[in-house]
Amino acid sequence: MSETYNKDEMGRRMKGVVGTLKGEFAGLRTGRASPALLDPVTVDAYGNQMHISQLGTISAPEPRLLTVQVWDRGMVKAVDKAVRDAGLGLNPQIDGQLLRIPIPELNEERRKELAKLAHKYAEQGRIAVRNVRRDGMEILKKLEKDHKIGQDEHHKLGDELQKLTDAHIKEIDQMLHGKEQEIMQV
């Protein structure tokens, strides 16, 4: 733990949590095609695990269709297999070096599962933000104990840190609300 308290560092760490959550939400499939849906998919290529984006161009030409233009003809089958095995419920169709991936409609049960998963991600985000706050509070407590800051400054900085925490948790809640709307929209 560092001996100095840096509000900007605490803010940066909280922003990082929110950024991570945005990425997790982008990977949650709604009824709409999004290239981010394939972000977690890795392909066994050239003796390594590689992300699909490193092997081809991913695009969403229609609201319910993703395409992957694979650059190396020899990797088409491997990319197809990776998408099928990713557990996303997607079945690509090969058309030369182009994979067409139709996005199926979501049923009510699947929508509820996705909403539950979004809640879980949001709660993990809230916990991570609170952990950053706890770290900051511990630094402030130690600084006061070592007589590097006074009690008044400890309280002032503690209040600022709490406001920062509240703002980031509010942002997480708003993101969750938006994602839920998107998932439940038929």
| Rounded CA separation 77/44 (Å) | 11
Task: Write down all domains in the chain, each with its CATH number in brackets.
Answer: 8-26+107-184 (1.10.132.20), 32-102 (3.30.1360.40)
DSSP string covering 155-176, please?
A: HHHHHHHHHHHHHHHHHHHHHH
Token match 């952990």: residue? 131
CB atoms inside a 10 Å sphere around CB 151: 8
Consecutive sets of 10 residues in the chain, 186 residues long: mean pLDDT of each? 78 94 78 78 88 91 90 93 84 93 82 86 95 95 92 94 96 94 80
| Rounded CA separation 164/168 (Å) | 6
Entry field: residues in the chain: 186
Give this prediction's pTM.
0.67
DSSP string covering 121-133, please?
A: HHHHHHHHHHHHH
pLDDT of 3 reads: 67
What DSSP state is assigned to residue 75? G
